[in-house]
Structure 1
Amino acid sequence: MTENYLPVLLQVAIAGGFAAVTLLVSVLFGKSAKRSAMKDSSYECGMLPLMEGQPRFSVKFYIVAMLFVLFDIEVVFLYPGAIIYKDYLAVFGAGIAWSALGFISILGVAFLYAWRKGVLDWKN
């Protein structure tokens, strides 16, 4: 029975050994490098770090992100049905089209509500 687990244990041992050796080499050679204020400063894609670390985002940013996820999930749910629509139509009849249109209409109402509330207006 143990011969079945031997390849898995060998792979875990190799991965653990690689991680340990990599960390050990990093600790040993990392401390020997010369330190300076420029090397110890944070690197922000070539920009000088002048402000605090984490800027505050507007609530609208998160609302737009949630709307993006919502409509992205809509595509994920509708795409498989659109691919095999003819097969479903033969089995279930027009009920599949009405359920898809119902799903789209509910999300359309949510989109119109967000639009009316000004969530998608970036000027303010």
Structure 2
Amino acid sequence: MELKLLPILLFGACATGLALVMLFAGSLFGPKRQSAVKRMPYESGMDPIHDAHKKFDVRFHLVAIAFLIFDVELLFLYPWAVASRHPDGIDAAVRVAQASGAGISRGLIFAEAMVFIALLAVGLVYAWRKGVFQWR
């Protein structure tokens, strides 16, 4: 076996061990009392006792969409943050852009990232003002 595979095997063994420990600890120390209310299905903030075609509030979808927007924001910011921590990360991007004829500098890249964050902040303020995050 090569030493290159050792970290992957150790990670897999640790993950499997942790999952097994959590499984056994949960069944050993977890609550044991079951009731009809605990076994009843629950979805979208409503008890499933009424008609299956009953309409439910759209706020659940709005919260989910807001979560996805800010989750995607982190996905876009992560490579920028990693590149800015690495000494050659942003400079390499600037060199590639300048080689293609675009006049890009470090300041422009930082400004673009700040505009992106500002637009998402405006979206957050808009959703907040519309009451998307209020539980009624």
| Structure showing greater Rg | 1
Equivalent in the alignment of 1:98: 111
**1:47 to partner: Cα distance:** 2.7
Equivalent in the alignment of 1:73: 72
| Residues 53-110 of structure 1, C-alpha deviations (whole Å, 9 max, x = no match) | 5774311000010000011000011101111114343343211111110100001001
Structure 2: where are the runs of 5+ without partners?
A: 1-37, 42-47, 95-105
Residues 70 and 118 of structure 1: CA distance in aligned 2, closer, same or farther (over 3 Å): same
Residues 55 and 84 of structure 1: CA distance in aligned 2, closer, same or farther (over 3 Å): farther
Is 1:89 the equivalent of 2:82? no
Q: Give the number of aligned pairs.
A: 80
Q: Secondary structure at the match of 2:120?
A: helix
Alpha-carbon distance in structure 1 between the residues aligned to 2:113 and 2:51: 47
Is 1:113 the equivalent of 2:126? yes
| Residues 35-54 of structure 1, C-alpha deviations (whole Å, 9 max, x = no match) | xxxxxxxxxx7338755557
Once superposed, what is the RMSD of the aligned Cα atoms? 2.5
Could you list the structure 1 runs, at least 4 aligned residues long, displaced by more than 4 angstroms after superposition. Answer: 48-56
Structure 1: where are the runs of 5+ without partners?
A: 1-44
Alpha-carbon distance in structure 2 between the residues aligned to 1:68 and 1:59: 15
Equivalent in the alignment of 1:10: none
| Residues 2-54 of structure 1, C-alpha deviations (whole Å, 9 max, x = no match) | xxxxxxxxxxxxxxxxxxxxxxxxxxxxxxxxxxxxxxxxxxx7338755557
8 Å CA contact 1:88–1:96 kept in 2: the answer is no
Equivalent in the alignment of 2:61: 62
Equivalent in the alignment of 2:39: 46
Residues 114 and 121 of structure 1: CA distance in aligned 2, closer, same or farther (over 3 Å): same
User: Percent of counterpart pairs with the same letter?
Assistant: 39
